[in-house]
Amino acid sequence: MKFGYRLFLFLAAFYGVVTVVYWQMANEPVGITALALSAGLALIIGYYFWFINRRTGGVLPEDNLQGEIADSAGELGFFSPGSWWPLPVAVAATGAGLGLIIGWWLTLIAVGALLISVLGFVLEYERPSNSPHH
């Protein structure tokens, strides 16, 4: 597991150095932006792998050469059996994109709808507490 976070942190440093060199030599904004975003993405992934490595103690079931498939069994998480929320998220995101072409008024409306639909999507299965202190 250590290899994963070291690889991505190395890539982040590499892309960072290449970004600076490219900035000094080419001074072309699109390439600089792409390289800087690549460095940032590699840094995010490297941090995530480092964080998981620290939490698990560095040994995953996949690392055990003598391991069985059942060794990594367990809860994988909750998956929605069916949700309508992706549809309003997609429509609002499309409206926000079209608003950049048509007019800013549509972008503002669509971003508001996008915020509401993303909140609905994220909080779909949240249940309010039945506490009398609310």
Query: Domain boundary at 62, 78, 106, which?
Result: 62
Global confidence as pTM? 0.57
In a domain, 81, yes or no: no
Query: What span, in angstroms and rounded, lies between the C-alpha atoms of 95 and 124?
Result: 22
Give pLDDT, residue 133: 57
Q: What is the pLDDT of residue 69?
A: 79
Q: 39 lies in a domain? A: yes
In a domain, 28, yes or no: yes
Range of the domain at 12: 2-62
Mark whether 57 and 94 lie in a shared domain.
no
* CA distance linking residue 36 with residue 29, whole number of Å: 10
How do residues 73-114 score in pLDDT, each as one tens digit?
Answer: 777 677 788 889 999 999 999 999 999 999 999 999 999 999
Q: Does residue 128 lie within any of the structural domains?
A: no
